[in-house]
Structure 1
Amino acid sequence: MTATPPDEPVIELAGLRKEFVVRVRAGRFRRTRRLVTAVDGIDLTIRRGEMIGYIGPNGAGKSTTLKMLTGVLMPSAGEVRVCGLAPVAQRTRLALRIGVVFGQRSQLWWDLPLRDSFDLLRHVYRVPAAAHAARLRRCRELLDLDDFLDIPVRQLSLGQRMRGELTAALLHGPEVLFLDEPTIGLDVVSKQAVRAFLAELGRAGDTTLVLTTHDLADIERLCRRLVVIDHGRVVHDGSIEALHARYGSRRLVVADLEEPTSVPPTLAGAPLLRTEADGRRLVFACESATASEVVARLAGLVALRDIAIVEPDIEDVVTRLYREAVADDPRVGAEPD
């Protein structure tokens, strides 16, 4: 198996488009055919070792894109290459070079112990025994698998099964790992274990990760690059910091005062957003001023009981991004004719 050269893209999309024909009711006994565009001309390049957050609202085209990248669906138009291969035409070869984890689907054998599923996958992918053992050892250490390796998959908790799914997807050494809602339904402890494992995998730089999720905490903790799509089109491609800057999200400084004030101080570069607790709490937004500058100025003007710096909420930022997309393009959010 030949790896993609470091200077070449691992994933390339050019004008990628997917349309479906659906039948809709047009009266009591009649149905008509309607063309629905799920993915509408996506251009995207992803290089080796990148960790990409690929997000959007329900129906935006996220899962459809992943299915075209993994060879499950044939594009209606455009070009797609993954590891230099055409996903549909070369699906068997591609399967040896990618891993896929879908939160609601399993690649493990339901009635077999987890250990046996891993051994069967070694034979399915024809992985040398030494390489398989080394990768399994690493996953056992990072995901704490030893306590349930000999338990049938059907008896595992959701968190244990997801850790097993991640291991199963990585045992053949894929170049790209596609993750669709990997933490959905997990408890806090299991989420932390999965996130820590993926972060470690990303730091190694050998595997490209494409993460689709509704849990924006996953994106904030794992991904340096964020691609946001809405109604099949890319509306943002860049860092999370760039997203915050573009949509005006700001750090907040929340100051609790020793005594209430009826005339709050005015700070250059940090407008007062609101006064709370009968004048004992002031909330400032950091615009041109940094949080440390705001705190230093406040300390010289009022007696402070406590101070807190609140980071911008990415979920709020993405919501505003969607609203702007609707305002800029009347087709977004409109019902098809």
Structure 2
Amino acid sequence: YCGPFTWDVKRLLASLYLIGHSKGFSDREIEEILRICVESYLKKVYEFCKQKNDYFALTLKNTSGKIKKLLNETRIKSHVAHLDSMTNIENYDRRFIRSKIVQDIDDTTRTDILNAFETYIKSVPESKKTSGYSEGRKDYKVKDVVARSSPGVGSAGKISYSILIEGPTETLENDIILYMKPAQKSAISYVIRNPELENYFKHDGLRTVLCSYAMQASTPKWLGYTSIGSIPCLVDEVTAHAEDLDWDDINEFNDVIEVVGYLGQATAKIHCVADSDCKSTPNDVACLPFSIIPRQVEKTIRDAIRGNDQEFINEMVEFGMVYGALVQRDHKLFFELFRNKHIPGFEEQ
């Protein structure tokens, strides 16, 4: 949330280096991929500098190729089909489908989750809580709760919880699935220690929610935070209309070039809408130090580059190439140590 804007660009380019290398592109082709991405990023930042508002979105109207296909595939997904993939109907009501990774919880854990859920509801802005529900409704019926093994890279090995709640009506097709998972500590905070910021952001769930409000023009309706005991947690809806970019189907050089151009624009958008004057920020967090955030991020980035566009682009691309290769080397070393059981604590596994 608080750190050099170049870190995001560098991380993105290093990741693209790894993707390009895995697909067999030459160093020259990979360098072009990285250059297109950062050029697109910088162009979009400058466009934000000329706009009166900070709105931008990748839509069916301004995309093509693989990204447009992804948007179309997401658009046709059904909420009911999404519910049916995770639940079944027993005794005229929905319940989660149990499996190897989706399991029941004991009564004590269920009580802890329900208490955390009540605290979470208080973190959701009133305007979002009443949307779609009868005026004055304050209760949210929890139908089922299960423990789920987290599949994400950052959450691998950790347990999250899925919560099935009744929707705006008793019709089963309106039911809603939420996830409650441990909030991740900011990676930047491991490197940059700032006691003032650490004092404000003691709850990583709150920090993550604030990031979302800052970086998105339209934040998810169910986004909020809570704690399970002493563990800070993030809560949001598991929606049908969300899809990750799958690189397995993006193999042609021209397709990759097109996609990374859009990724550069999206990264610029995330940076440039994260202003201290963000209109979607809840009023009840006005006490936080928004003064540390530039009032107009796009102009702050422009002033930091000071017209040295080519130098900036070259520096970012060089980092992506060098660090990407370094990550490959580190991964190989790690794999060999792991394979030969040379990592302390893993010898007997």
Q: TM-score, normalised by structure 1?
A: 0.29
More helix by share: 2
With normalisation by structure 2, the TM-score equals: 0.28
Task: Name the structure with the higher strand share.
Answer: 1
Higher relative contact order (CA 8 A, sep 6+): 2
Which is higher, the Rg of structure 1 or of structure 2? 1
